[in-house]
Amino acid sequence: MSSPLSTPGGRKRGRTTNPSTPSSEGPTSPPFQRRRGQDSSTGDLMPMPTSPPTDVLSPAAPLDNSLFSSPRPSVPPNEVDMSSPLMYGTPMRGTPARQRPDLGSVSKAPQVDLQSEPPSADGAVASEANAGQRHRKIFPLSLFIDPSSSEDENTGLDLNEPLYMQKLEEISVVGDPVLNVNCLHVQSFDAELYRQLICYPQEVIPTFDMAVNELFFERFPDSILEYQIQVRPYNALKTRNMRNLNPEDIDQLITISGMVIRTSQLIPEMQEAFFQCQVCAFSTRVEVDRGRIAEPAVCRHCNTTHSLALVHNRSLFSDKQMIKIQESPDDMPAGQTPHTTVVYAHNDLVDKVQPGDRINITGVYRAVPMRANPRQSNVKSVYKTHIDVIHFRKTDEKRLHGLDDAEQKLFTEERVQTLKELAAKPDVYERLASALAPSIYEHEDIKKGILLQLFGGTRKDFSQTGRGNFRADVNILLCGDPGTSKSQLLQYVFNLVPRGQYTSGKGSSAVGLTAYVMKDPETRQLVLQTGALVLSDNGICCIDEFDKMSDSTRSVLHEVMEQQTLSIAKAGIICQLNARTSVLAAANPIESQWNPKKTTIENIQLPHTLLSRFDLIFLMLDPQDEAYDRRLAHHLVSLYYQSEEQLEEEFLDMAMLRDYIAYARTYINPKLSEEASQALIEAYVDMRKIGSGRGMVSAYPRQLESLIRLAEAHSKVRFSEKVETIDVEEAKRLHREALKQSATDPRTGFVDISILTTGMSATARKRREEVAQALKKVIQAKGKTPAMKYHTLLEDLRRQSETAITKEMFDEALRALSDEDYLTVTGKTVRLLA
């Protein structure tokens, strides 16, 4: 029912013995939904004023009919027979019923003196009795089996047994008297009951409570609970988005998602006041009624007037907390600010959530008129709205454990169909690649690489064998001349993926990337604040100006990029956070222009330990060729004169691409086929072979892993559950392409993977060895001189050697010798050891 107050002479008025209850004020909900129930009972309504445009009442109307078309409309409650649920002889044996402040003023289950209720055909009672009728049907619900259930709440339950009976059993064991009921189950079980639950939660949920308690104590007569079981429905699919809340939702059961932004301190709310007479010490208790306590004017015992005083510490209080939630950023239309809603949590739901949590809230939406002031005749015409929460569900909790399917996007049938059609096209890979950042010209292979990164490999769990999680995310490094739209590509990816982070290496510190511990100024609690890498868990972390990052910052990336975790040991907090993020980084060459005579490592000056963690390293260079120039020019010019629509036709739009990726990421988990594994083995062996002839290694197991990931990602692009040879072929091609660009030894022209894995090509290493040996010879030739001047030594070496010796080479040789403990270098002198 819309509001208890709109039902004059309702049950509660009968129940409260005090007639002096103020009738017009108090936290009642506005009677917006007045038509429900009342129309049928009172035919004397004056012609309705026309509703304002926002006031769409029509959906409510058929509901009325359905409600009253149920078998026994408006049962006069006095005639309630023994079959009525309200009449169950309660075998609850003293287990106290706990008040449900979350359901507003109907605080106790309606078993209290039903007889005092005046006979009324009023809608509220009718619906309640109705719901009571219906509640027997909950028994079948107790037999509800949901074999398809995959919810985390049901872990450990046998899916083929009645779900809620198992839950009751759990309650009897654990002793936590809360039963969470999925509204979807109710709906699939009885749509009518579901509708009533949604529309009249205040009346229906207490009947649920009763029925469940009935059942529970029948089954487990010996169990002892702190208080009676409370039913907490959740997942009411009424409203998903805070923005869609409107006056129609008042007093209905709703579920919305949002993020907690503020929680208040605990507010003790009086539930029952204890009064004692100052004269005769007679005590009396008064329950709170609609937020007010009616002070008894006369002592019933000694008939003294105004002698009763409130005794605070014998009154009953319940916990209450105000929580503010804000729309989650994904739900918002562009260009608007997020809305916030006030939520009240009661009793054990207090302190269940912290600011920053993303939660789904199920509760009753309330609107309360501004407090009227007796001294003022006119009042503000605005209501305060809030939600009395019944059930919290954290959406990000699961992210700590594994994949988050909570954010699984629900695709409509048609959308899935279009996606599948697209996937069936033979050139889907090329299409998607060209749809990626259409404003950036060419670089097809780079786009393909990024596309595969967006899809990612299949997640594998080897924790049984002690290896832990296997990295499924592809990391890509782009390096190249400034002004080759690397940043733009990064920005695009960042905007495309739902959970992306964009940072610049220049501006971010290790702390900003990982996590830090902060003392909350209000609560003095230590709070773990997560940085970009953790925030982009299951997403992509775009790091621009990777080369400008400080060494200490870069060092945290080591763990993230292979183990995909982040270890924190700070201020007494030791933990390991998941950071299963793909890294897309961009780096500029150290000399601002790419020097083709140098290796990748020398050009970007990044430690090879880090470089080897990138699956693909692309060079974005400016190709100098006329045909390319022409196409580029055409592309750019068309960017400036083509209208928006023309471009839309040419490319898939971003939303489509996003959906496609989201679908593939959630539903497609390809496995290697036999042929594919053979092809992979072959490919790896081939790669090893290339270099072996010249004493160079051109592949390491890490490269094999990369190949597997890429192949898997490619089969995801095709929506294929099996990795096939073509996937391996493409992975091989792309990998080779990237290697050709980044791991070619400029001195020899061969691909040498050790450039990336050890930071130095094999030839360079060989040469260093030679110089060191030559230097050693020079020193030995000098005979017994314990110390030499740096300069003279260099001169000597230069004179002896047939090739030109640079200072760097000399330094390297010195370092090599000092590593052998042959000599030490202090300032400008070189001392021999031993």
- Should residue 431 be labelled a site residue for other proteins when binding is judged by CB under 8 A? no
- Should residue 119 be labelled a site residue for other proteins when binding is judged by CB under 8 A? no
Report the site for other proteins in 235-254 (rule: CB under 8 A): 245-247, 250
Query: Hey, is 490 helix, strand or coil?
Result: helix
Q: How far is the CB of 651 from other proteins (least distance, A)?
A: 10
Q: How far is the CB of 473 from other proteins (least distance, A)?
A: 22
- Should residue 382 be labelled a site residue for other proteins when binding is judged by CB under 8 A? yes
Judged by beta carbon, residue 2 or residue 235, the one nearer other proteins is 2
Binding mask 155-194 for other proteins (x = CB under 8 A): ----------------------------------------
Identified binder of other proteins from the candidate list 300, 380, 409, 420, rule CB under 8 A:
380
- Rounded Cα distance between 67 and 78, Å, is 20
- Should residue 478 be labelled a site residue for other proteins when binding is judged by CB under 8 A? no
- Should residue 726 be labelled a site residue for other proteins when binding is judged by CB under 8 A? no
Identified binder of other proteins from the candidate list 437, 687, 708, 753, rule CB under 8 A:
437
Select the span of 142-150, 327-335, 556-564, 673-681 touching other proteins (CB under 8 A): 327-335
Report the site for other proteins in 195-234 (rule: CB under 8 A): none
Identified binder of other proteins from the candidate list 143, 370, 518, 526, rule CB under 8 A:
370
* Main-chain dihedrals φ then ψ at residue 168, nearest 5 degrees: -60, -40
Q: How far is the CB of 543 from other proteins (least distance, A)?
A: 14
- Should residue 678 be labelled a site residue for other proteins when binding is judged by CB under 8 A? no
Binding mask 385-424 for other proteins (x = CB under 8 A): xx--------------------------------------
Judged by beta carbon, residue 488 or residue 829, the one nearer other proteins is 488
Q: How far is the CB of 520 from other proteins (least distance, A)?
A: 12
Judged by beta carbon, residue 387 or residue 797, the one nearer other proteins is 387
- Should residue 8 be labelled a site residue for other proteins when binding is judged by CB under 8 A? yes
Q: Residue by residue, what is the 3-state secondary structure of 204-247?
A: HHHHHHHHHHHHHHHHCCCCCCCCCCEEEEECCCCCCCHHHCCH
Judged by beta carbon, residue 307 or residue 341, the one nearer other proteins is 341
* Main-chain dihedrals φ then ψ at residue 537, nearest 5 degrees: -55, 130
- Should residue 342 be labelled a site residue for other proteins when binding is judged by CB under 8 A? yes
Q: How far is the CB of 677 from other proteins (least distance, A)?
A: 38
Beta bridge partners of 363: 254, 389
Identified binder of other proteins from the candidate list 157, 259, 668, 813, rule CB under 8 A:
259
Tokens of residue 34, six digits: 């007045």
- Should residue 351 be labelled a site residue for other proteins when binding is judged by CB under 8 A? no
Identified binder of other proteins from the candidate list 88, 220, 383, 667, rule CB under 8 A:
383
- Should residue 329 be labelled a site residue for other proteins when binding is judged by CB under 8 A? yes
Long-range contacts of 526-532 (CB under 8 A, 24+ apart): 526/571, 526/572, 526/573, 528/568, 528/573, 528/575, 530/577, 532/501, 532/503, 532/508
Tokens 């605005």 found at: 382
Select the span of 271-279, 394-402, 481-489, 730-738 touching other proteins (CB under 8 A): 481-489
Select the span of 49-57, 121-129, 174-182, 198-206 touching other proteins (CB under 8 A): 49-57
From residue 643, give the alpha-carbon distance in Å to each of 334, 468, 652, 653. Answer: 22, 51, 15, 14
Q: Cβ of 147: how many Cβ atoms within 10 Å?
A: 9
- Report yes or no: 565 and 606 within 8 Å, Cβ to Cβ: no
Identified binder of other proteins from the candidate list 70, 90, 240, 355, rule CB under 8 A:
355
Strands 573-578 and 565-570: antiparallel
Report the site for other proteins in 756-815 (rule: CB under 8 A): none
Smallest CA-to-CA distance from 607 within 625, 629, 587 is with: 587
Identified binder of other proteins from the candidate list 118, 356, 607, 786, rule CB under 8 A:
356
- Should residue 507 be labelled a site residue for other proteins when binding is judged by CB under 8 A? yes
Judged by beta carbon, residue 503 or residue 761, the one nearer other proteins is 503
Report the site for other proteins in 267-326 (rule: CB under 8 A): 267, 269, 291, 320, 322, 324, 326
- Should residue 686 be labelled a site residue for other proteins when binding is judged by CB under 8 A? no
Tokens 């490999």 found at: 457
Q: How far is the CB of 362 from other proteins (least distance, A)?
A: 20
- Report yes or no: 171 and 177 within 8 Å, Cβ to Cβ: yes
Tokens of residue 508, six digits: 């971010």
Half-sphere exposure of 335 (CA within 13 A, CB side): 0
- Rounded Cα distance between 767 and 773, Å, is 10
Judged by beta carbon, residue 300 or residue 630, the one nearer other proteins is 630
**Sign of the CA dihedral with 737 first, then 742, 745, and 747 last:** positive
Strands 460-462 and 468-470: antiparallel
Smallest CA-to-CA distance from 557 within 516, 501, 514 is with: 514
Identified binder of other proteins from the candidate list 9, 91, 118, 483, rule CB under 8 A:
483
Half-sphere exposure of 510 (CA within 13 A, CB side): 14
- Rounded Cα distance between 200 and 270, Å, is 25
Q: Which distant-in-sequence residues (6+ apart) come within 8 Å of 143 by Cβ?
A: 162, 165
Judged by beta carbon, residue 357 or residue 547, the one nearer other proteins is 357
Q: How far is the CB of 199 from other proteins (least distance, A)?
A: 16
Report the site for other proteins in 440-469 (rule: CB under 8 A): 441
Beta bridge partners of 569: 574
Select the span of 82-90, 368-376, 420-428, 768-776 touching other proteins (CB under 8 A): 368-376
Axis crossing angle, helix 123-135 with helix 201-219, rounded to the nearest 10: 30
Report the site for other proteins in 608-647 (rule: CB under 8 A): 622, 624, 626, 629-630, 632-634, 636-641, 644, 647
Tokens of residue 627, six digits: 């045909």
Classify 74 in phi/psi space as left (phi over 0), alpha (psi -120 to 50) or beta. left
Report the site for other proteins in 20-39 (rule: CB under 8 A): 23-25, 28, 30-32, 34, 38
**Sign of the CA dihedral with 113 first, then 115, 121, and 126 last:** positive
* Residue 462, burial from CB neighbour count under 10 angstroms (0-12, 13-18, 19+): exposed
- Should residue 740 be labelled a site residue for other proteins when binding is judged by CB under 8 A? no
Beta-strand ranges (E) seen in 435-525 are 460-462, 468-470, 476-480, 500-504, 515-519
- Should residue 521 be labelled a site residue for other proteins when binding is judged by CB under 8 A? no
Tokens of residue 289, six digits: 């009624």
Length of the chain: 834
Judged by beta carbon, residue 48 or residue 143, the one nearer other proteins is 48
Judged by beta carbon, residue 217 or residue 494, the one nearer other proteins is 494
Tokens 């109710």 found at: 186
- Report yes or no: 774 and 816 within 8 Å, Cβ to Cβ: no
Query: Hey, is 787 helix, strand or coil?
Result: strand
- Should residue 589 be labelled a site residue for other proteins when binding is judged by CB under 8 A? no
Judged by beta carbon, residue 118 or residue 507, the one nearer other proteins is 507
Q: How far is the CB of 746 from other proteins (least distance, A)?
A: 20
Total number of residues that touch other proteins (CB under 8 A): 99
Q: How far is the CB of 28 from other proteins (least distance, A)?
A: 7
Select the span of 214-222, 332-340, 750-758, 760-768 touching other proteins (CB under 8 A): 332-340
- Rounded Cα distance between 307 and 278, Å, is 5
Judged by beta carbon, residue 188 or residue 246, the one nearer other proteins is 246
Judged by beta carbon, residue 171 or residue 245, the one nearer other proteins is 245
Which DSSP letter does residue 548 get?
A: G
Q: How far is the CB of 383 from other proteins (least distance, A)?
A: 4
Judged by beta carbon, residue 505 or residue 691, the one nearer other proteins is 505
Tokens of residue 509, six digits: 């510190």
